[in-house]
Amino acid sequence: MDQQYYVYILASRRNGTIYIGSTDDLEKRVYEHKDKLVKGFTERYNVDKLVYFEIYEHRDSSRWREKQIKKWNRGWKIKLIEKDNPYWKDLYYDL
Task: Provide the pLDDT for residue 56.
Answer: 98
pTM: 0.96
Question: Rounded to whole angstroms, what are the CA distances from 94 to 33, 45, 52?
Answer: 16, 23, 12
Assigned CATH for 5-94:
3.40.1440.10
> Which DSSP string corresponds to the chain?
----EEEEEEESSTTS-EEEEEES-HHHHHHHHHTT-S-SHHHHTT--EEEEEEEESSHHHHHHHHHHHHHS-HHHHHHHHHHH-TT---GGGG-
Task: Provide the pLDDT for residue 2.
Answer: 81
pLDDT tens digits along 11-62: 999 999 999 999 999 999 999 999 999 899 999 999 999 999 999 999 999 9
Q: Is pLDDT above 80 for 82?
A: yes
